[in-house]
Amino acid sequence: MKAAGGEAAARVTDIGSPRQARALVRFAVRRYGRLDLLINNAGILGPRVPISDYPIRDWQRVLRIDLSGTFHMSRESSRVMAAQGHGCIITLSSSVGRVGRAGWGAYAVSKFGVEGLMQVLADELRSVGVYAMTFNPGATRTAMRAEAYPREDRDRLRHPSLSARALLQLATNASPAISGKAFDLENLP
């Protein structure tokens, strides 16, 4: 980002807290004067066990971060973007958020939830120039992927920079035609 002339600022935030999510959005607006893009990427995996064995505390924690946190950030950001008359919200998803698979529990449920959340936001905000969509990066070399597949050869996975470029492409080309859609890195032109 810096090489392209951009600037980044970091702030530790519990996005599962509506108050902290609101504070983060306000921080960004104060610092930059506007909010053009939100990429919802925060998430946790949770245990890989059957639903019948899923610990309730873990279930609640995963949904609090992965689904409610995405809601809080999207809600606060969409208010700013709607007032500006433009903006883009992209939420990272997963193949297990489109087709349920055994052992993915709360993580899969949260990803199904964010798929729906982005469709609803897209429909609500399209007329004010704010676009929302999901993006599935697929098998990517991340700590979460290593946690989910500890025996997998990381060298065979995509580097995260490929997803970063794809997200930039989606944000740059955001329009009513693509708002509400679910994208996969593998299927982007």
Tokens of 75: 């809600």
**Strand-strand pairing, 87-92 and 130-136:** parallel
Rounded Cα distance, 93 and 184, in Å: 9
- Which of 32, 54, 107, 131 is an active site residue? 107
Q: Can 32 be counted among the known catalytic residues?
A: no
Catalytic residues: 107
